[in-house]
């Protein structure tokens, strides 16, 4: 609890092995609970957070975002409560990001969301007024930026050429986001078939994880046989659910593409 606010960490997760390594870096973050959100769409997990009426502040951390300074996270939560921000995060465009989206939107690799405040106005039907779908979550964040105050944090690139380094307003490193978590569990030769220039993601992400653990002086625990079996079973289940979900979304994606081509 902080000043009467219940705080939870949420993480949309596909790879339990990667999540466990990210979770090991949550030490020091003040929270009341942790929630793993599986099999959710890129926007649906925000609605799951909002429906959790026991939670007032959501700290959203992607499983490929690695916390460098938990005190910076705690201070940002305090700043949100003090200043009345609804959202704190990194603009989905600009320095440090390997793509260029809409700067009004915060990329959800790391967000702090004031759910208590957002619920005072939230109406899912209102999102239909936003027809920008660079990512499925764009309507939600555009609506959020139009109706509440967002604090945009600075970012820079990493020496690996891909990772985004996120800072707070004092210049402390909040987290490092590796990107390309979807390729983490795929063999490199399979990744190269899907996206030729992204064949070595596991090696790069593992190096980033080692870097953050070392900088924080924490020990990175290796999984035993039983845990590795759990990871494999979980990954199989995630794929069994994910493939039909992806196929079910094809009609709406095709419809949007046809609409844009007119």
pLDDT of residue 150: 98
Residues 213 and 25: beta-carbon distance below 8 Å: yes
Question: Does the pTM exceed 0.75?
Answer: yes
User: Hey, is 73 helix, strand or coil?
Assistant: helix
Neighbours of 71 (CB within 10 A): 13
pLDDT digits (tens, 9 = 90+) for 169-224: 999 999 999 999 888 876 665 656 566 655 568 889 999 999 999 999 999 877 78
Distance CA 98, CA 92 (A): 10
Quick one: CA dihedral 23, 198, 246, 252, positive or negative?
Answer: positive
The parts of the chain modelled with pLDDT lower than 70 are 1, 39, 186-200, 239, 242-243, 245-246, 249-250, 253, 255-262
């Amino acid at each position: 609890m902080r000043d009467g606010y219940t705080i939870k960490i949420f993480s949309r997760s596909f790879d339990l092995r990667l999540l466990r390594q990210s979770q090991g870096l949550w030490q020091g973050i003040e929270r009341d609970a942790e929630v793993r959100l599986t099999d959710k769409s890129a926007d649906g997990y925000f609605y799951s957070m909002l429906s959790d009426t026991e939670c007032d502040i959501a700290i959203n951390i992607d499983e490929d975002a690695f916390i460098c300074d938990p005190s910076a996270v705690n201070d940002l939560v305090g700043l949100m409560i003090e200043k009345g921000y609804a959202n704190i995060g990194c603009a989905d465009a600009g320095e440090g990001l390997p793509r260029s989206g809409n700067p009004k939107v915060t990329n959800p690799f790391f967000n702090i969301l004031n759910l208590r405040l957002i619920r005072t106005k939230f109406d899912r039907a209102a999102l239909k007024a936003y027809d920008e779908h660079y990512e499925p979550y764009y309507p939600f964040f555009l609506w959020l930026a139009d109706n509440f105050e967002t604090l945009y944090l600075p970012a820079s690139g990493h020496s690996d050429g891909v990772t985004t380094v996120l800072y707070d307003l004092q210049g402390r490193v909040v987290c490092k986001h590796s990107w390309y978590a979807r390729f983490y569990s795929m063999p490199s030769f399979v990744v190269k078939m899907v996206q030729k220039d992204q064949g070595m993601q596991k090696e790069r992400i593992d190096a980033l994880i080692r870097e953050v653990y070392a900088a924080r002086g924490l020990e990175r625990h290796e999984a035993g046989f039983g845990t590795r079996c759990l990871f494999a079973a979980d990954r199989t289940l995630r794929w069994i659910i994910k493939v039909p979900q992806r196929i079910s979304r094809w009609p709406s994606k095709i419809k949007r593409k046809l609409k844009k081509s007119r």
